[in-house]
A and B are shown apart, each in its own frame.
Chain A
Amino acid sequence: MSNYPSRSHKSLATPRLFFASIGLSLCFNLTMIALMLFNSINAAANPIQQDDIITTDVVNSFDELGHGTLLFKHATQYKKAAQLNIDVVMNITGMINRVSVTQSFSNTTDDWQEGIYVFPLPENAAVDHMRLMIGERIIEGQIKEKQEANKVYQQAKKQGKQAALTKQERPNIFTTSVANIAPHETVEVEIEYQQIIDYDNGAFSLRFPMVVGPRYIPGKQRIAGFSGTGWALNTNEVADAARITPPVLPPGSQRKNEVSLKINLNAGLTLENIHSTYHVIEVDKQAGHYEIQLKQETTLANRDFELIWQPHASDIPKAALFTEEMNGDTYALIMMVPPTVKKTETLSKEIIYVIDTSGSMGGQSIVQARTALELALTRLKPGDRFNVIQFNSFTSKLFNHAESVNSATLEQALNYVRSLEAGGGTEMATALHAALANQSNDNSLRQIIFMTDGSIGNEQALFEIIQKELGHSRLFTVGIGSAPNSHFMRRAANFGRGTHTHIGKLDEVQKRMQNLFEKIENPILKDITIDWGQMNSTAKNIAPNIEAWPQKISDLYRGEPLLITAKAKQLPNAINISGDVANDNWSSKLTLNGGQTRQGISTLWARNKIAALMEQKRDNEFESIKQLIIDTALEHHLVSKFTSLVAVDVTPVRPLDKTLDSHAIPTHLPAGWDHKKVFGQPFPATATDARLNFIIGMLLMLLTSLLVLCLHGRMTAGMQEIERRRKPKPRYLGSPIAPTVGVRNINPNPSS
């Protein structure tokens, strides 16, 4: 206290200025803070009119929505796009389906148009023909390397010639572009493909997808604006996002893409029944074949079509052989059903259930997935271990680690599953990592049941995760909803050494899941090798003059047939197929004569070869494998990732002074999907912290002022004290106050 006065000597020199400045800043601070606070309080005190607030019942956190959710770039642009109609004709003979898809583009505007249509085909479709049909004229498409085909098309487009280009974006996503459609003209593009019919558990089936469900595009958006015709921007993870995300019609739109469907089914067997899972059909039995069509002539292109036909029990085929002679080679498609093995004792196992709860699962899909998952949980047995993982923009787990099955954990899981809601992005990679992590080293049975619609654009990256991290797990995919990404389901299960199934509506959950459980719970046939009989069986699948695809045969689950395509100078009389089932060797001899001759077996063989090569391509040998794919595709006239079909009319029709409008054909949202859940744009954050910063700053200044003032007060007191000491002290001797002081000093307990 003693040296205080000397320290503040300076301020003492200008006390007025000092006080004035402090006072001023105090006033300013106080006013500012009061103003800000008043405004805020005012805002809070004026309650918002309830009718102004839009509310819906669905509560979902916006912050969870990933950046992959974008919307309606072409909100009203689509009105100008060409009208699209699709006619599908299928010819099924035995296990082979030859399909013609005619896409007709009608330009209803007064301008010249280019129509771009992104559409799905079955993931095993071998597209080998495309023709452009303008009135009576038919121009056959030529197979070319992708870039060259594109160049030819672009040039024709510029020259005003009518042209069509069909290219592959994914094994199950294709794009048709048609240039120079005259005002009020209709141009047709016919695409033909061949596919092998699915055969499982004694029933044949085919799926014909009609719409590419909007795909979630993970990754950082590239700053390049929109390229291509899609609603998504290309990202670092999905470089072609704009090409696989056709614009989607907004809810309530009057526009319709309609599909007509005619099937000529020649099963070659007596059939027990034929039925379509999602569409009402009419079946007309003719001599030796069935004619099938949609009951209502057309249907909206908004969900997969599925046809299933079942032979009589006595007629269920156990093996089949189809051959084709071409250019001195014999091509063969060989099918064989391994015998079912009696169920062995069940081992305890670990099952990880993964469920997609992203926005695309909103609507009916999430209900199907929840039901399927509940059913799966009830199959668990005491001694098993399990966990449930859900993912959207984020991944979360029911338990930290897999838990043993008991009534408490099961109850907990069921409650968890029942409360699952859909919303947000589809960050599938983190979910896969989570499902494949924490594998024990004891090689015990570990199964992952993965329920999703596969609406993602980064398939390849996900397949790589599965390949790398699979360990001893097996991954089973359950494709949910009306337009699942079947390519993802099949391939992911393939890489995951599991199998796949589809659920497209609630009342098939029971049956499909039952079928899946039977596959999962029964012994599988693994390590399958084929001895082509021409080599000493040194465990090689392929004899020198036989080229069979796929080379590595996947494990077969109960009811699944072995399907293999081969090319040979001459087929051997018999082959020997062997494998391992329930730790026993199994082998079977199959004689290869008396097969039926079918056109297009070579195409199927080439398609299988390309699919296998696409999986093999690695960075170091990318170029050589790419060349092999191109050679195979060009030889067999096949559309692939690296080859496209292009058709160009000779004479230019568009006067070059007329401009060409380019429009993507808008597609329907898959049936049962919720538009808002997929395309809903979250509200952005639209406030800064400037005001908060100001207030904190002002408060601190105010505090300083107060502090200074307070200290100064004490300082002033000190000054006065000094001054008082300097001046002679006033004396109050004998004043009447003195006794009072004395009274105050009287204390009954002085020591306290």
Chain B
Amino acid sequence: MIRTFKKVLIIFLPLCGLWFIGQGSYIHAKAVVAQLLLETAWTETLGGNKEVKPWPWSDTWPVARLSAPALGISRIVLAGASGSSLAFGPGHLFGSTPPGENGNIIISGHRDTHFSFLENIKKGDHLELQSNKKTSAYQVTDIQIIDKTKVEAIPVDSENKLILITCYPFDAIQSGGPLRYMITAKFKHSFILS
């Protein structure tokens, strides 16, 4: 009896293990593959099309490309920061200033996929945000860790800046923690697309 149980365990445990590892890998795979698909949709957006859905059943669309030239990082930013769009790319918060316009542009992303690179960003670093109108350069001026149970809302003002938000700590095992890593970058200049 015990031996049958052990046998079942020997088959069942690694299957479960594989399933969990598969789940984890799936999240990462989705994050990577989606970005590849988004490239095409973004190219189309730059070509003048609006709200290009990267796949037919998508409920979001690319609105910008965020890059950190020094780190060689480039991410396609999606409309909205709901869980379903963040799975595929960093999300631009509805209601914050749209990319390419003046104001507080807020983008959030998962700390363990698209926005894991934020950990390597330092004050003074340059960031670029390409919208369908122009590309704007920003310089990181502030990096803060915020406890969302203590701060009522994302602090905003009427300045012209880019705010990147991800979860903190970067290596936490579980999701859903109260801390947020917030990078603020001031607008430097913009150039029209060539």
Interface residues of A (CB under 8 A from B): 36-37, 39-40, 42-44, 48-49, 52-56, 58-62, 70-77, 221, 223, 225-226, 231-233, 250, 252-253, 423, 676-677, 679-701, 703-704, 707-708, 711
Contact = CB atoms under 8 A, between A and B. Distances in A.
Given A70-B94, A223-B59, A711-B6, A685 B113 contact: no
Contacts of A682: 148, 153-154
Contacts of B21: 693-694, 697-698, 701
Contacts of B79: 225
Residue among B18, B25, B113, B169 with the most chain A CB within 10 A? B169
Contacts, number: 230
Contact of B95 (A70, A677, A692): A70
A707 B104 contact: no
B144 interface: yes
Nearest to A702: B17
Contact of B20 (A76, A684, A686, A693): A693
A75 B103 contact: yes
B97 A687 contact: no
B19 interface: yes
Contacts of B87: 688
B73 interface: no
Given A60-B152, A683-B180, A40 B103 contact: no
B57 to A, nearest CB: 12
B156 A56 contact: no
B2 to A, nearest CB: 11
Given A692-B174, A694-B21, A686 B95 contact: no
B17 A689 contact: no
B158 A250 contact: yes
B174 A704 contact: no
A699 B51 CA distance: 43
Nearest to A696: B20
B27 A687 contact: no
B152 A686 contact: no
Contacts of A681: 93, 95-96, 106, 153-154, 156
Contacts of B104: 72, 75
Nearest to A705: B14
Contact of B169 (A43, A692, A693, A697): A43
B184 to A, nearest CB: 11
A76 B158 CA distance: 6
A687 B167 CA distance: 6
Interface string B120-134: 000000000000000
Interface of B: 6, 9-10, 13-14, 16-25, 27-28, 50-51, 59-60, 79, 81-83, 86-87, 91, 93-98, 101-104, 106, 108-113, 115, 144-160, 165-177, 179-180
Contacts of B111: 686-687
Contact of A707 (B13, B28, B158, B179): B13
A53 B167 CA distance: 14
Contact of A72 (B83, B86, B95): B95
B153 A52 contact: no
Contacts of B167: 685-687
B152 A54 contact: no
Residue among A681, A687, A699, A704 with the most chain B CB within 10 A? A687
B173 A685 contact: no
Residue among B17, B28, B93, B172 with the most chain A CB within 10 A? B17
Q: What are the 8 A-B residue pairs with the smallest beta carbon separation, nearest first?
A: A680-B153, A75-B103, A697-B20, A700-B17, A70-B95, A697-B21, A693-B24, A43-B169
Nearest to A63: B148
A677 B153 CA distance: 8
Contact of A690 (B17, B27, B96): B27
A406 to B, nearest CB: 37
A70 B92 CA distance: 13
B152 A75 contact: no
A44 B176 CA distance: 15
Given A70-B95, A73-B98, A683 B165 contact: yes
A689 B59 contact: no
Contacts of B144: 52-54
B17 A75 contact: no
A689 B150 contact: no
Given A43-B171, A703-B13, A687 B96 contact: no
A40 B28 contact: no
A43 B17 CA distance: 26
B93 A684 contact: yes
B129 to A, nearest CB: 15
Nearest to B171: A39
A693 B27 contact: yes
A26 to B, nearest CB: 13
A697 B28 CA distance: 15
B160 A61 contact: no
A687 B95 contact: no
Contacts of B110: 686-688
B173 A700 contact: no
Contacts of A233: 94
B158 A676 contact: no
B169 A44 contact: yes
B9 to A, nearest CB: 6
Contacts of A680: 152-154
Contacts of B156: 71-72, 75, 250, 681
Contacts of B86: 684-686
Given A681-B154, A684-B82, A697-B18, 10 more contacts: A55-B150, A76-B160, A225-B51, A226-B98, A683-B165, A684-B86, A686-B108, A686-B167, A696-B17, A707-B10
A39 B170 CA distance: 9
B14 A704 contact: yes
Contacts of B172: 40, 43, 687, 691
A680 B152 CA distance: 7
B96 A686 contact: no
Nearest to B148: A683
A75 to B, nearest CB: 3
Contact of A77 (B16, B91, B103, B168): B103
A333 to B, nearest CB: 45
12 contacts: A49-B145, A72-B95, A72-B97, A682-B154, A683-B165, A685-B176, A686-B165, A688-B175, A690-B24, A697-B20, A697-B23, A703-B17
A689 B158 contact: no
Contacts of A36: 171, 173
Nearest to B27: A690
B44 to A, nearest CB: 16
Nearest to A681: B154
Contacts of B106: 681
A691 B173 contact: yes
A703 B9 CA distance: 10
A681 B166 CA distance: 14
Given A42-B171, A72-B96, A703-B13, A691 B145 contact: no
B88 to A, nearest CB: 12
A71 B96 contact: yes
A107 to B, nearest CB: 19
B155 A54 contact: yes
A13 to B, nearest CB: 19
B96 A40 contact: no
Contact of B173 (A676, A679, A695): A695
Residue among A44, A677, A680 with the most chain B CB within 10 A? A680
